[in-house]
């Protein structure tokens, strides 16, 4: 059985007596590896190495760090096929989907390559006679990232390239379910020239997480995952005086207006609801249709299209999406579907009994479409994180927007319409962090920032883009009186612009 260890200070770190956890292939249900789980002592040793490396790394010029990241970007492109295989083997998503997610991560590296421009401060001459003022952004120190199973390449790449470009050292704690790709990403970073200790990977569970949250040498923590864990990460890290950005769950709505192109709506819903088996925090899981006629058209078109989707292992080049990530998660998704039926929603398309020849033990659930979902139902209120789409009927646009705004989660939402006035109203009045018009998955590009509102985000900063630079740096403002001029003696009143 293959054993997966940590990557600390540029070297593989393993312990024969370490606790371990299983890693599975979700398409077959077979265990493929044992993963070492870091003890508190292992994490503390990793923090110490990062702290030792910080002075030298932070003293390097921004252009030096950018050149290393540019070499890293080239290596990521060169190893795309290998990285996609690692993602798909442990998560289950198709190769094309894996490559798409890696590409989005590489775009963050490209953004971070512009760090000399991003770290330029502001300068004001003569704020007083012979006095200038300017500011600068400086690194925090040792930072940490805790990343989810569903994007083992993209989400880590949202974090550490920006952190490193700003001059910080970084410790990555990836999901125990999908550890291989994050390890390979960091190996390639070292190959690109990132020094030992600047970037490390520790695999682990709650013991490793709590060590990162509690150790005073860790100055900032980034997290992506479920809302309950995001809230725990935020409050625990903040209680230990850390800067924390914790991105939680989502229940993303798509409002469909009567004038929307139903063909375009159908394609958008099918791709966003069922792509990656619905294991995306930006997946559309609720279609809010304005008017019964609109709902009937959407129901018929989407249920027909969903029934024709090809579900299979990542090795099947014709598969539209693959299995769920684990046995436990598959059971959870199935229980949500059962609950939806029990609570009175109409299950139009039922994917619960999907068994694939040769993959009978895989964690496969076919596309499920519910109609007549109401806001009091569990499948409306809670994030399912599976290939399940609910249709909610509303009489008016105002009622549809109210549903979006009243939900406790506010990650993403979209509106499909040809009406410019309604579109502008939606963009302005929706209480959501990321919104789209005629776009099903409104994920910001790398040079903007990613993050939700309400209980989809804990902390003040969104991720990557300009917000990422602000999160991984602290502001310093200097006021300088240059030699020369007349000494007027001591001043006892507070300085003013007069």
The answer to whether residues 59 and 166 belong to one domain is yes
pLDDT tier for residue 486 given thresholds of 50, 70 and 90: low
Residue 60 belongs to domain spanning = 2-248+456-478
Which position has the token pair 């299209």? 305
The answer to whether residues 231 and 269 belong to one domain is no
Strands 243-247 and 457-458: antiparallel
The answer to whether residues 256 and 376 belong to one domain is yes
The answer to whether residues 238 and 256 belong to one domain is no
The mean pLDDT of the chain is: 96
Q: Is residue 41 part of a domain?
A: yes
Number of folded domains that form the chain: 2
DSSP state of 396: S
Q: Is residue 486 part of a domain?
A: no
Q: What is the CATH number of the domain that holds 215?
A: 3.40.605.10
The answer to whether residues 193 and 101 belong to one domain is yes
Residue from 128, 144, 134, 177 nearest 43 by CA: 144
**Whole-angstrom Cα distance, residue 154 to residue 125?**
42
Q: How would you class 478 by CB atoms within 10 Å of its CB: exposed for 0-12, middle for 13-18, buried for 19 or more? A: exposed
The answer to whether residues 429 and 351 belong to one domain is yes
Query: Could you read off the pLDDT of 136-187 as tens digits, one per residue?
Result: 999 999 999 999 999 999 999 999 999 999 999 999 999 999 999 999 999 9
Query: Could you read off the pLDDT of 25-79 as tens digits, one per residue?
Result: 999 999 999 999 999 999 999 999 999 999 999 999 999 999 999 999 999 999 9
Catalytic residue flag (residue 281): yes
SS3 label, residue 219: strand
Structure tokens that stand for 169 in this block: 């050292």
Q: Is residue 448 part of a domain?
A: no
SS3 label, residue 454: strand
**pLDDT value at residue 498:** 64
Q: What is the mean pLDDT of residues 196-204?
A: 97
The answer to whether residues 341 and 419 belong to one domain is yes
Helix axes 180-192, 154-165, angle to 10 degrees: 30
**pLDDT value at residue 489:** 75
Q: What is the CATH number of the domain that holds 423?
A: 3.40.309.10
Q: Is residue 135 part of a domain?
A: yes
Cβ atoms 218, 212 nearer than 8 A: yes
Query: Could you read off the pLDDT of 208-265 as tens digits, one per residue?
Result: 999 999 999 999 999 999 999 999 999 999 999 999 999 999 999 999 999 999 999 9
The answer to whether residues 304 and 217 belong to one domain is no
Cβ atoms 444, 111 nearer than 8 A: no
Within 10 angstroms of residue 364's Cβ, the number of other Cβ atoms is 25
Cβ atoms 422, 261 nearer than 8 A: no
Name the catalytic one among 166, 181, 281, 289.
Answer: 281
Structure tokens that stand for 123 in this block: 């300068």
CA-based Rg of the chain, rounded to a whole angstrom?
Answer: 25
The answer to whether residues 257 and 230 belong to one domain is no
Within 10 angstroms of residue 55's Cβ, the number of other Cβ atoms is 10
Structure tokens that stand for 232 in this block: 């725990």
Q: Give residue 140's Cα distance to chain centre.
A: 22
């Amino acid at each position: 059985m293959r054993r997966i260890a940590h990557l600390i200070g540029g070297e593989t770190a393993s312990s024969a007596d370490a606790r371990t956890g299983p890693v599975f292939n979700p398409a077959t249900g077979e265990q493929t590896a044992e993963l070492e789980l870091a003890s508190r002592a292992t994490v503390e040793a990793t923090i110490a190495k990062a702290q030792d490396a910080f002075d030298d790394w932070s003293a390097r010029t921004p252009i030096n760090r950018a050149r290393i990241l540019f070499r890293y970007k080239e290596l990521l492109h060169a190893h795309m096929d290998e990285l996609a295989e690692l993602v798909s083997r442990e998560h289950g998503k198709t190769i094309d989907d894996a490559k798409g997610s890696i590409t989005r991560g590489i775009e963050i590296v490209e953004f971070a390559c512009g760090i000399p421009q991003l770290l330029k401060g502001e300068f004001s001459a003569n704020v007083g006679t012979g006095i200038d003022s300017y500011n600068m952004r400086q690194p925090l120190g040792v930072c940490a990232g805790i990343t989810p199973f569903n994007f083992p390449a993209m989400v880590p790449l949202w974090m550490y390239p920006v952190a490193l470009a700003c001059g910080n050292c970084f410790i990555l704690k990836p999901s125990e379910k999908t550890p291989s790709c994050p390890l390979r990403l960091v190996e390639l970073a070292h190959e690109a020239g990132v020094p030992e200790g600047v970037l490390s990977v520790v695999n682990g569970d709650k013991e490793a997480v709590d060590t990162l949250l509690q150790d005073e040498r860790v100055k900032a923590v980034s997290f992506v995952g479920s809302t309950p864990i995001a809230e725990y990460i935020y409050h625990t890290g903040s209680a230990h005086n850390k800067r924390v950005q914790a991105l939680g769950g989502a229940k993303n709505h798509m409002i469909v207006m009567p004038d929307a192109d139903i063909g375009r709506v159908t394609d958008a819903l099918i791709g966003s609801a069922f792509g990656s088996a619905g294991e995306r925090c930006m997946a559309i899981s609720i279609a809010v249709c304005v008017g019964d006629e609109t709902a009937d058209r959407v129901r018929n078109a989407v249920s027909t299209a969903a029934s024709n989707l090809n579900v299979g292992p990542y090795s099947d080049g014709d598969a539209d999406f693959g299995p769920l990530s684990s046995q436990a998660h598959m059971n959870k998704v199935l229980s949500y579907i059962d609950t939806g039926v029990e609570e009175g929603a109409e299950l139009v398309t039922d994917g619960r009994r999907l068994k694939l020849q040769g993959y009978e033990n895989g964690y496969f659930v076919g596309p499920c479409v519910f109609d007549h979902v109401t806001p009091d139902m569990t499948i409306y209120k809670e994030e399912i994180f599976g290939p399940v789409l609910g249709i909610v009927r509303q009489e008016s646009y105002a009622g549809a927007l109210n549903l979006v705004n009243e939900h406790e989660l506010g990650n993403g939402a979209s509106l499909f319409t040809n009406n410019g006035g309604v579109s502008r109203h939606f963009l302005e009045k929706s209480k959501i962090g990321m919104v789209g018009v005629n776009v099903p998955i409104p994920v910001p590009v790398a040079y903007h920032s990613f993050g939700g509102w309400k209980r989809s985000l804990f902390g003040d900063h969104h991720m990557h883009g300009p917000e990422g630079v602000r999160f991984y740096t602290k502001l310093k403002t200097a006021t300088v009186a240059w030699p020369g001029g007349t000494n007027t003696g001591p001043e006892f009143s507070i300085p003013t612009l007069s």
